[in-house]
Amino acid sequence: MTATDTPSAARVDPTDTAEKGPRQQRLGVVLLALAMGGFAIGTTEFVSMGLLPQLARGVDVSEPSAGHAISSYALGVVVGAPLIAFFGSHWPRRATLIGLMALFAVGNVATAWVTSYESLLVARFVSGLPHGAYFGVASLVAAGLARPGRKAKAVATIMLGLSVANLVGVPAATWLGQNLGWRAAFWVVAALALLTLLLVLAFVPSVPGDHTSSWRREMRAFRNPQVLLTLAAGSLGFGGMFAVYTYVVPTIDKLGGLSEGAAPIFLFAFGLGMVAGTWLAGELASWSLFGSLFIGGGGQGLLLLAFAMLAHTGWWVLPIVFGITVTGSVLVVGLQMRLMAVAGDAQTLGAAMNHAALNVANALGAWLGGLVIAAGLGYRAPGIVGFGLATVGLVTILVSFLLERRTGAVGHAPA
């Protein structure tokens, strides 16, 4: 997302006048306020996976059925991201951020209140609607306020909230939900959303929308086959990780012989892998963008297969879990940079659809993983499904690479 949004912000953002003085001195606290929203979103997106057994018991369904709540959140992102990109680019950005955080808080309060499986699905869908749009708008605001040459760092700070959520927020919320009841985790997320809303209201300056944007300009991105291939690679290839991640807690319990108390440690390993993989992705992409995509996609597939084969070994599978997230993060960052290169002028929609594609992967992986478990194939089966999805994603990247070599056309990278 960093690489995708920043050039767009530099080109079209009417607030790109980050003069020195009091406004620039406030940039740090502005970025903290915006990163807090990323922390809240990252926590709610992944904590359901750590609390899957508790969610299932809470609404009286099986664990594979409870996994559909994760898919419902992801579908909310898929629906909300492009809709707001199409119709919300003209809205004042601070007001948009406040509205998105208010909707996010409502969705998580509803999640904490639900009493039935159907209402849980609806509440998670509502919680997911603001996800992609929040990161897009927050990144545009951050880039518009930063000095030239520091825009990428400002946007990266926003994304740091998501990484820290996986490293700290998700394990902590999982522990809280296991000890005080799963609803407590979502009450905490709702409180974080309200805190973000207040911080944005207090510290983020008023920022007008982009009056030069139009939905017709954004829609032109879909005429480029390389855009479609990149989105497909994210939707399919990254789905492999979610096929395993969604059911990692019951897998280590039923196959590895570990208690539910081990879940926060495994989730911490996922978060640590995300941070390490994001750093590694920058190094690999500087060497070769397609090289990083092949390494990320291929490495993730092999590690998912290894997880399926070794899931019964308990703690010994922890390094594999870490490696899955490292390679997955390398893949995601590479896809974001690739989308920046091929999206042309449709940077807003490109950023939003990247989040949509990754959440299609979330929904697809969680659904297929639950499907094979429900079919009686056991808890190794999601790893096999993940390997298959990663392989299809890798083939899609290969098609994109060969098409580019044959035609020499990748789209028009932004200045």
Task: Tally Cβ neighbours within 10 Å of residue 25.
Answer: 9
pLDDT tens-digit readout, 132-151: 888 878 877 877 787 776 66
Question: What's the rounded Cα separation, in Å, for the pair 358 and 286?
Answer: 23
Residue type at 372 in one-letter notation: V
pLDDT tens-digit readout, 337-351: 787 677 766 666 766
**Contact criterion met (CB below 8 Å) for 349 and 219:** yes
pLDDT band at residue 18 using 50, 70 and 90 as cut-offs: very low
pLDDT band at residue 380 using 50, 70 and 90 as cut-offs: confident
The tokens of 118 are what?
Answer: 């159907």
Q: Residue 206 burial (CB < 10 Å; 0-12/13-18/19+)?
A: exposed
User: How far lies 10's CA from each of 95, 159, 276, in Å?
Assistant: 21, 18, 28
**pTM of the predicted structure, to 2 decimals:** 0.71
Q: Reduced to 3 DSSP states, what percent helix, strand and coil does the chain have, rounded to the nearest 5?
A: 85, 0, 15
User: How far lies 9's CA from each of 22, 160, 245, in Å?
Assistant: 22, 19, 33
Across 325-363, b (16+ Cβ under 10 Å) vs e yields: bbbbbbbbbbbbbbbbbbbbbbbbbbbbbbbbbbbbbbb
pLDDT at 368 over 50: yes
The tokens of 136 are what?
Answer: 């897009």
CA neighbor of 338 nearest in space, from 353, 322, 326, 323 = 353
Residue type at 110 in one-letter notation: A
**Residue 247 pLDDT:** 82
Residue type at 342 in one-letter notation: V
What domains appear along the chain, each with residue ranges and CATH number? 1-212 (1.20.1250.20), 214-409 (1.20.1250.20)
The radius of gyration of the chain's CA atoms, rounded to the nearest angstrom, is 20
Percent of the chain surpassing pLDDT 70: 83
* CB within 8 Å of 52: residues ≥ 6 apart: 63, 66, 67, 70, 246, 247, 249, 250
